[in-house]
Amino acid sequence: MAATIAHSNPSAVRTPTGYTHAIQVSGEYRRLIISGQVGMAVDGTVPDSGDGQLAQAFANLRAILMANGMTIENIVKTTAFLTDRDLLPAYRQARLAVFGDHAPASTLLFVAGLADPRWVVEIEAEAVA
């Protein structure tokens, strides 16, 4: 069976510029590759706090999963980028609240900055079903 590739830009997440929020590869199984999600709401607003941006980034991740018929439990890999080491406890708390006992493979990086200087977090993921 040949793989089918479908692009997904759910209306519950701000429209991307120059990339796709998620790409689903279907065949014997479905593989969803989700672009890095930041703390930006559909209306373009960015919370002032790291906690707010973490919550929005995870909300965006969930919205993309739901739009593709998946849940957090389908995630097999995450990569998170934080611009401030002081955000680590808040990130871990937010991640635990979202993932619970589900523990996908993950990578966490501290970076000097992201594409928009207001952003302090970006989370990308891969999911399968």
Q: Does residue 3 surpass a pLDDT of 80? A: no
User: What's the CATH number where 112 sits?
Assistant: 3.30.1330.40
Between 92 and 29, the more confident residue is 92
Q: Give CA–CA dist 22/19, Å, rounded.
A: 9
Mean of pLDDT over the chain: 94
Give how far Cα 30 sits from Cα of 5, 26, 33, Å.
Answer: 10, 4, 10
Whole domain around residue 44: which residue ranges? 4-128
Predicted confidence at residue 45, as pLDDT, reads: 98
Predicted confidence at residue 27, as pLDDT, reads: 87
Give how far Cα 38 sits from Cα of 28, 57, 79, 83, 91, Å.
Answer: 31, 5, 12, 12, 13
Q: Which of 12-21, 40-49, 71-80 has the lowest mean pLDDT?
A: 12-21
Question: Mean per-residue pLDDT for 49-62?
Answer: 98
Q: Does residue 14 surpass a pLDDT of 90? A: yes
Question: Mean per-residue pLDDT for 93-97?
Answer: 96
Spell out a b/e string for 70-96, using b for 16 or more CB atoms within 10 Å of the CB, else e: bebebbeebebbbbeeebeebbeebbe
Q: Does residue 105 surpass a pLDDT of 90? A: no
Provide the Cα torsion 70, 120, 17, 30; round to 10°: -20
69: left (phi over 0), alpha (psi -120 to 50) or beta: left
Total domains, the chain:
1
